[in-house]
Amino acid sequence: MYEDSEEIQQISYWPSVSDLFMTLFIMALAIPIALFSLFLPTSAKSSKDLVEVARLNELIGTKDKEIQGYKHEVARLNELIGTKDKEIQGYKHEVARLNELIVTKEKGYNDKPPIIIISEGGKDGKDEYRFASGSALVSDTFKEGLRDGGFKELAKEILARNHHSIITVDTLEFIGHTDGIAVSKRGNLDSLLPSLLAGNSQDLALLSPGSNNDLGLLRALAIKEAWIDFVNTHEHATALKMINVRCYSAGQTIPEGLDPTDSRLHDPTLFKSENIKFRRIEIRLTKLH
């Protein structure tokens, strides 16, 4: 009985063992299959993702190039705009200059430069502007008076009229006037004046007038020399040197303060007497070119 029971018991283990081995076998097959199934799609997906990432990176690179192109184009257009702005500003300045020129020209029809008169009587009747009788020499006191008075006013007038490349005056005329007191010297202007006017080294003091007309011219030349000395030390010397200087003599032909219709002009003794008002230098600004 015992032996039968043991045999029966031994026989009953085999199905369990068989099941165990079967289960282990199935698991041995299932695990690789599961692992293969698990990793195969992932690898395929990763490869596909890499391709997609590469495509997207390439697309991004293309877009970056497009953006850089746009940026370069914007920079080019901004530079072009800057250039056009400069051109426009240039046109505006030119328009402003032309408008100013138009105004100046319109004023020029009625606006005449003033005539500056340097009287031998000077300011308030003082004699710092006086030439010696029959002489064209300019004393140091005379020069100082010119620098602080007539020349200073004259330079201011020139600079005010010539600015921003608009030239309204280009010539300065010095005109010498005398009274009618006869000149008793023998003149030498015919022989010495040409050398002086040619720019040769010639002392003005060596020239001697033979008439009031000669004296008027020599005095105008003396004022011209004083003017040149003044200009050479002026802060706007370059602008002032652009003005041409001409000298003339009116002698005793145009009395100061008398109207052309004044009956006294018919008096033959008018020019024979000493008259401080007649002795003067007129300075005129004009445009000849």
In this structure, the dihedral spanned by the alpha carbons of residues 164, 168, 170 and 176, taken in order and rounded to 10 degrees, is: -140
Which of 106, 136, 163 marks a domain boundary?
106
Residues 129 and 245 in one domain: yes
Residues 50 and 146 in one domain: no
Residues 95 and 43 in one domain: yes
Report the Cα 18 to chain-centroid distance in Å: 112
Secondary structure letter of residue 131 according to DSSP: P
Report pLDDT digits (tens) over 157-181.
Answer: 888 888 767 778 899 999 998 887 8
Domain annotation covers residue 14: no
Residues 80 and 216 in one domain: no
Residues 196 and 215 in one domain: yes
**Mean pLDDT for the chain?**
78
| Tally of domains within the chain | 2
Closest CA to 229 of 123, 116, 140, 156: 140
pLDDT of residue 5: 47
Residues 141 and 282 in one domain: yes
Which of 71, 106, 141 marks a domain boundary?
106
- Structural domain including 202 reads 114-286
Asked if pLDDT for residue 119 goes beyond 50, the answer is: yes
Report pLDDT digits (tens) over 57-106.
Answer: 788 878 788 888 888 888 888 888 888 888 888 888 888 888 877 766 66
Q: Identify whether the C-beta of residue 205 lies closer than 8 Å to the C-beta of residue 137.
A: yes
Q: Residue 115: phi, psi to the nearest 5?
A: -95, 120
Domain annotation covers residue 274: yes
Domain annotation covers residue 152: yes
Rounded Cα distance between 102 and 167, Å, is: 12
Residues 75 and 188 in one domain: no
Asked if pLDDT for residue 251 goes beyond 90, the answer is: no
Q: Which residue has the higher pLDDT, 265 or 124?
A: 265
Residues 137 and 259 in one domain: yes
pLDDT of residue 233: 93
Which CATH number belongs to the domain containing residue 124 in this structure?
3.30.1330.60
Residues 260 and 143 in one domain: yes
Residues 121 and 227 in one domain: yes
